[in-house]
Amino acid sequence: MKHEIKVPEVGESISEVVVAEWLKNDGDYVEPDDVICEIESDKASFEVPVDQAGILEIKAQVDDTVAVGDTLAIIDTEGETPESKPESEAVSEEKPEPEKPEETPEEETEKAPSRESETASEETRVSPVASNILKEAGINPNEVKGTGIGGKITKADAQRAVHAANGKEKTEPEEPPAPSKKEPSKPPRVEFSGDRETERKRMSTLRRTIAERLVSAKNDTAMLTTFNEIDMTAVMETRNQYKELFEEKHDVRLGFMSFFTRACAIAIKDFPIINAQIDGNEIVYHRYADIAIAVSTDRGLVVPVIKNADKLSYAEIEKKVNDLATRARENKLDIDEMRGGTFTISNGGIFGSLLSTPIINAPQSAILGLHKIEDRPVAVDGQVEVRPMMYVAMSYDHRIIDGKDSVQFLVRVKELIEDPSRMLLDV
């Protein structure tokens, strides 16, 4: 029986995708939940799993543009895995012995799973997606109960295991997880051969879209950047004083992003033009703060959105930031989670950037760039003191945002960060 694997719907505005990579080969035997390929839209990449077992017949090739609903592959559900043939022969050779009168059907049923679990390898017992999830979380597959066919560990099983583990264990790093910080700053080293060779790789659909939008933002906006510096002493003292209690109560680490997200949400109310955008000959003012957080991934920069950030507590913001950033790097974000946004925050400081000029995330009108915290000598009450300082930069569309508003907005953010109690008292 032939079963078609079609291009799934990945978003309301997406009508076609590009086949990025086949993770299985033509003629491979696949099982339910196995991911056979990755497809890309102009917004994100998506994995395509199968829901039936059988022999894979690939219909769409890498780099092919396919419409939603088109056939990617066909599964021959009557096909058998090559590995199963020797096993079935071996079992048939042993069958005369098992047919003893004292063995009941119930006993045979009980024995079958145990024999399978003894001979099955981790590859066949765990779906590829689940295996990656468990590996990244450091969880032994043998400790996870599978609910799939034959006890197979599915993606949902792995996610439940990770969720359960996160509820019990606490991690020590105060900043975002170390891999996300170190991997982009230390890419795999390439040794030059001296033969003057070159290598060409196809730009992903996501990367091409990012490139087009960045160029468009530079060309279609009157972009200007204003700078300031913030004394991080008060925030760091507050964070150090309460971080353990905060994590114990809310089960999430207290980072700097929640302070800046909260500060921007408050400052936006004082300067609503920062949160507005141009639509033709009109200015659209948003009466809510959907703040996007730029996240660097192996596939490119994605910008998931924290909706109604002005209504969230510090703990709720931190949980949102951690969740969105983690799933962005794992390529598990939904399109809706990257749609919209009225203002963006980008933190180049986690990679060591001291100063930069961020590019507006159109159609938004402003973006705040955070940078590395560095001890510098500053004048405090007529005395020179060494303080942890951060340069901040806000790029904005000068067509609708005047210099006065941009500067005062950034000063307002500076005031709130340097005296966090103002955010609690709303002053």
pLDDT digits (tens, 9 = 90+) for 76-129: 887 665 555 554 444 444 444 444 444 444 444 344 444 433 335 444 467 767
Q: Give the closest residue to 16 by CA, choosing from 38, 40, 37, 36.
A: 40
Amino acid at 145: K
pLDDT at 296: 84
Determine what percent of the chain is predicted with pLDDT higher than 70. Answer: 81
Is residue 41 within 8 A of residue 11, CB to CB? The reply is yes
Amino acid at 121: S
Distance CA 207, CA 201 (A): 12
pLDDT at 157: 79
Query: Residue 194: which pLDDT band, with cuts at 50, 70 and 90?
Result: confident
pLDDT at 113: 42
Query: Residue 173: which pLDDT band, with cuts at 50, 70 and 90?
Result: very low
pLDDT at 394: 97
Structure confidence by residue, pLDDT tens digits, 6-24 = 888 877 667 888 888 898 8
Structure confidence by residue, pLDDT tens digits, 325-334 = 888 888 778 7
Instruction: Give the torsion sign (CA, 23, 26, 27, 33).
Output: positive
Q: Kindly give, in sequence order, each residue whose CB lies less than 8 Å from that of residue 112, ignoring residues fewer than 6 positions away.
A: none
Structure confidence by residue, pLDDT tens digits, 42-77 = 767 788 888 888 899 999 988 888 888 899 999 988
Is residue 226 within 8 A of residue 406, CB to CB? The reply is yes
3-state secondary structure 192-251: CCCCCCCCCCCCCHHHHHHHHHHHHHHHHCCEEEEEEEEECHHHHHHHHHHHHHHHHHHC
User: How is domain 120-169 classified at the CATH fold level?
Assistant: Dihydrolipoamide Transferase (4.10.320)
Is residue 341 within 8 A of residue 361, CB to CB? The reply is yes
- Whether the link from the prior residue into 105 is cis, omega within 30° of 0, is no
Please list the residue range(s) of the chain that carry CATH number 4.10.320.10: 120-169
Per-residue b or e along 74-91, where b marks 16 or more CB atoms closer than 10 Å to that residue's CB: bbbeebeeeeeeeeeeee
Structure confidence by residue, pLDDT tens digits, 263-277 = 999 999 999 999 999
Length of the chain equals 427
* More confident of the two residues 371 and 166: 371
pLDDT at 319: 93
pLDDT at 80: 65
Say whether 3 is catalytic.
no
Structure confidence by residue, pLDDT tens digits, 417-426 = 999 988 887 7
pLDDT at 32: 87
Q: Kindly give, in sequence order, each residue whose CB lies less than 8 Å from that of residue 165, ignoring residues fewer than 6 positions away.
A: 137, 139
Helix, strand, coil tally for the chain in percent (to 5) = 40, 25, 35
Mean pLDDT within 339-351:
91
Mean pLDDT within 144-172:
69
User: How is domain 2-76 classified at the CATH fold level?
Assistant: OB fold (Dihydrolipoamide Acetyltransferase, E2P) (2.40.50)
Say whether 402 is catalytic.
yes
Q: How would you class 221 by CB atoms within 10 Å of its CB: exposed for 0-12, middle for 13-18, buried for 19 or more? A: buried
User: How is domain 205-425 classified at the CATH fold level?
Assistant: Chloramphenicol Acetyltransferase (3.30.559)
pLDDT at 378: 94
Amino acid at 422: R
Per-residue DSSP letter, 144 = S
The catalytic residue among 402, 405, 419, 426 is 402
Please list the residue range(s) of the chain that carry CATH number 3.30.559.10: 205-425
pLDDT at 177: 39
Please list the residue range(s) of the chain that carry CATH number 2.40.50.100: 2-76
Least confidently predicted of 21-25, 142-146, 373-377: 142-146
Instruction: Give the torsion sign (CA, 273, 278, 280, 285).
Output: negative
Question: Does residue 368 surpass a pLDDT of 90?
Answer: yes
The catalytic residue among 3, 250, 286, 398 is 398
pTM exceeds 0.85, yes or no: no
* More confident of the two residues 205 and 340: 340
H or E stretch covering 114 = helix 105-119
